[in-house]
Structure 1
Amino acid sequence: MSLQLTLASRNLFHDRLRFIATMVGIVFAAVLVLVQMGLFLGFGHMVTTMIDHASTELWVVPKNAKCFEDPSLLDIKLRERVASTDGVATVIPLVIGFSDWRLESGEMTPVFIVGADLRDGGLQPWNLVEGSTQALAERGAVAVDRSYFERLGAAGIGSVAEVRGRRVRVAAVTDGIRSFTTTPYVFVDLKAARTYTGTPTDRASSLLVRLKDGADRDAVLQAIRGRIGDAEVLTPREFRSRSRSFWLFGTGAGAALFAGALLGVVVGTVIVAQTLYSSTKDHLSEFATLRAMGSSNGYIYKVIIYQALINAVIGFCLAAGIGAVVVEMTEKSALPIVITPWLVVGLGVLTLVMCVVSAIGAIFRVVRIDPARVFMR
């Protein structure tokens, strides 16, 4: 094995320019796949960030609501029906919707209002770095994320603006609550949310259901379904799955990301295959000599496979390093790239498979070598 590995490495490093070209192909393919899939995971996390941070066991939403941002409304009377169900501790109305934020300069930008009863919790701003949730009970108080300061014309606590023609003041600041649509989230109390979104007092966007300790969630879920008519009751997992399906596949975003990843695999495989084939072709005389000396086909095949594996290992390490840098650079961006351990393992396997498949063309070329050609030189 050591002799085969030595021969493989010498073949690879003999022409350094060709080796660099091979590495560029492998790294390009691996980084493209890593970034595309990292974007896919990051997008999937961001579309459910509000659902993930809601302190609730069940969601009551309008029928066929596609995602958290769905503009459909519920009749607030459903709150009493749900609250009277055995096992239900609290039912918290949630009001959401788009509105306009007017800076002091007169410039306007769209924002997404999120409002819930501050006394009941349910869905409140997290990762607070300035101010407090209780401060939102004050008239005109809002919470915004500091990553949107420039767009909102804010500089911190005390900054003022107008929402739907009403004066507001930044009373709390968060860090890291970003919207995948790039529209800033603005947290307010329930009453203010109705005002800023124009939602009637007899309507709500959804109901957050918190259960009593020890309550059977499935049993409560079934009981609620029999009381809410056309509305739907979902677990957080079901709501997350529905939201991801809508944004990733219903809008075509997921297909575009997968297409980019597939393109990376195809381009990388072609580049590596062409390079390995060219390298093997340049060393046909050496392979013919090995066959004339009695080396088995298996021995020669292993040399070529080892070349592919060396390429894969070096290319993967370089791609993983670049991926780590990309994750660091996008951590505070509007759409951070998420790379999980499973994605790294999958990329390693994919890189190995890509390089081994690329070596098949070179193996087919060697199979057709006539050992007698060594005596014709």
Structure 2
Amino acid sequence: MSLVLTLASRNLFHDRLRFVATLIGIVFSVVLVMIQMGLFLGFGRMVTTMIDHTSADLWVLPKGAKCFEDPSQLNTGARDKVASVDGVASVVPLVIGFSDWRLGSGEVTPVFVVGADLRDNTLQPWNVVEGDVRSLSQVGAVVVDRSYFDRLGISSVGETAEIRGRRVKVVALTDGIRSFTTTPYVFVDLRNARQYTGTFPERASSLVVRVKSDADRTSVLEAVKAKVGDAEVLTSAEFRDRSRSFWLFGTGAGAALFAGALLGVIVGTVIVAQTLYSSTKDHLSEFATLRAMGSSNGYIYTVIIYQALLSAVIGFIIAAAIGYAVVDVTAKSALPIVITPWLIAALFALTVVMCVASAIGAIVRVVRIDPATVFMR
């Protein structure tokens, strides 16, 4: 085994320029796939960030609601009916919607208002870095993310603006709560949210249901469904999957990211295959000598495969380092790249398969060598 590895490494490192070209092809393809899949995972997380941070077991939604940001509304008359179900701990309405934020300069920018009952602790701002969230109970109080300072024309707690003609004051700041639609989230109390979005008192965007810890969730789910009429009832997991599916596949964003990843695999495989084939072709006389000395085809195939594996390991290590550097750079961007352990494992397996598949062309070339050619030189 050590002899095979030694021979493979010497063949691989003999022509350093060609070896560098091979690594470039591998690194390029792996980094491209990693970034595309990282964007896919990052986008998938961002589209469900509000659902993930809502303390909910069940969601009562308007019929056909596709995601958290869906503007559809339902009648809150079912709230008391749902609350009467045995096993239900609380039922809290959420009011969300787009509105206009007027800066001090008079410029207007769209914002996405998120309103919940703060006394119930259902959906509150997280990653608070300045100010007091409890102050949201005051009339006109809002919480925004500091990454949107430029968009909102503010720079600190205490500054004021207008939402739909009503004066608002920033009472707290968060860090990292970004919207994938680029429209800033503005957290407010439920009562204020109705005014800022023009929602009638008997209407809400959804009802958040929490189930008692000792209750049978399946039974509660069925009982709630029977109480809400034509509204839909989803678990948090179901609502998360629906929202992610809509934004990733219903809008075509997921297909575009997958296409980019596939392009990276194709380009990388072609580059690596061409480089490995050229390298093997330049060493045909050495492989012919091995065959003339009685080396089996299996031994020669192993040498070529080892060359491909060495290229895969070295190229992947470099690509992974670049990938994690990109993750750090984009951590606070509008669409952060996410790299998970399973993605790293999958990409390593993909890199190995890509390099081994690329070596097949070289193996086919070696198989056709006539050992007698070594004596004809």
TM-score (norm 1): 0.99
In the TM superposition, 1:1-377 aligns within 5 A as 1-377=1-377
Letter in 2 for 1:21: A
Letter in 2 for 1:85: V
How far apart in 1 are the matches of 2:149 and 2:221?
41
Structure 1's consecutive aligned runs of 4 or more residues displaced over 4 angstroms after TM superposition are: none
How far apart in 1 are the matches of 2:351 and 2:106?
53
1:136 Cα shift?
0.6
Letter in 1 for 2:235: T
Deviations 1:262-300 (A, max 9, x none): 110110000000000000111111111111111110111
How far apart in 2 are the matches of 1:333 and 1:254?
19
1:121 Cα shift?
2.0
1:212 Cα shift?
2.2
How far apart in 2 are the matches of 1:83 and 1:312?
58
Q: Larger deviation: 182-191 or 5-14?
A: 5-14
How far apart in 1 are the matches of 2:118 and 2:302?
67
Letter in 2 for 1:121: N
Percent identical residues: 76
1:218 Cα shift?
1.1
> How many residues are matched?
377
How far apart in 1 are the matches of 2:202 and 2:247?
29
How far apart in 2 are the matches of 1:211 and 1:292?
77
1:200 Cα shift?
1.1
**Partner SS, residue 224 of structure 1:** helix
1:124 Cα shift?
1.0
Letter in 1 for 2:222: Q
1:129 Cα shift?
1.0
Q: Larger deviation: 128-137 or 69-78?
A: 128-137
**Partner SS, residue 226 of structure 1:** helix
Over aligned residue pairs, what C-alpha RMSD do you find? Answer: 0.8
Letter in 1 for 2:96: I
How far apart in 1 are the matches of 2:298 and 2:212?
67
**Partner SS, residue 170 of structure 1:** strand
Q: Larger deviation: 5-14 or 200-209?
A: 5-14
**Partner SS, residue 122 of structure 1:** coil
**Partner SS, residue 129 of structure 1:** strand
How far apart in 2 are the matches of 1:333 and 1:48?
17
**Partner SS, residue 112 of structure 1:** strand
Deviations 1:80-117 (A, max 9, x none): 11111111121101000011111111122111000011
How far apart in 1 are the matches of 2:222 and 2:172?
39
How far apart in 1 are the matches of 2:56 and 2:278?
61
1:9 Cα shift?
1.1
1:194 Cα shift?
0.8
Deviations 1:143-171 (A, max 9, x none): 00111112111111111111111111100
How far apart in 2 are the matches of 1:151 and 1:357?
50
Deviations 1:326-358 (A, max 9, x none): 110011111111111111111111100100000
Deviations 1:311-339 (A, max 9, x none): 00000000110011011001111111111
1:216 Cα shift?
1.3
Deviations 1:47-76 (A, max 9, x none): 111001111111100111100000100001
Deviations 1:223-246 (A, max 9, x none): 010111110111100000000100
Letter in 1 for 2:33: V
**Partner SS, residue 171 of structure 2:** strand
How far apart in 2 are the matches of 1:306 and 1:156?
59
Letter in 2 for 1:44: G
Letter in 2 for 1:324: Y
In structure 1, runs of 5+ residues without a counterpart are none
Q: Larger deviation: 9-18 or 352-361?
A: 9-18
Deviations 1:23-68 (A, max 9, x none): 1110010011111111111111111110011111111001111000
How far apart in 2 are the matches of 1:159 and 1:363?
70
How far apart in 1 are the matches of 2:211 and 2:352?
49
How far apart in 2 are the matches of 1:41 and 1:343?
10
How far apart in 1 are the matches of 2:364 and 2:4?
18
How far apart in 2 are the matches of 1:162 and 1:33?
44
How far apart in 1 are the matches of 2:216 and 2:142?
36
Letter in 1 for 2:269: T
**Partner SS, residue 200 of structure 1:** coil
